[in-house]
Amino acid sequence: MSKMCEICGKKPMVGNYVSHAHNVNKRKFNPNLQRVRAVIENGSIKKISVCANCIKSGAVVKAP
């Protein structure tokens, strides 16, 4: 399972850890993915990985 939202396509991003002395090391920002039972296009219910932002905005319809 890839670390990608199935609704908006949000993926891990790269950045830096920056210390007080400005030492820089690479790091990764992962999206906040949740496995939810959702109603998809044709009305069927399927488990999908979606980010918390899509759940909050109502982009995904949770199954009853």
**φ, ψ of residue 52 in degrees (nearest 5):** -60, -30
Which domain covers residue 57, as residue numbers? 13-62
Higher pLDDT, 1 or 60: 60
The answer to whether the CB of 39 falls within 8 A of the CB of 58 is no
Evaluate whether residue 51 is within a structural domain: yes
- Number of other residues whose CB lies within 10 A of the CB of residue 36: 16
Evaluate whether residue 43 is within a structural domain: yes
pLDDT tens column, 12-60: 999 999 999 999 999 999 999 999 999 988 889 999 999 999 999 999 9
Evaluate whether residue 56 is within a structural domain: yes
* The predicted structure's pLDDT at residue 1: 62
Q: What CATH number is associated with residue 43?
A: 2.30.170
Evaluate whether residue 29 is within a structural domain: yes
Question: Domain count of the chain?
Answer: 1
Which run of H or of E encompasses 45? strand 45-51
Q: How far apart are alpha carbons 7 and 19 in whole angstroms?
A: 35
Q: How far apart are alpha carbons 5 and 60 in whole angstroms?
A: 11
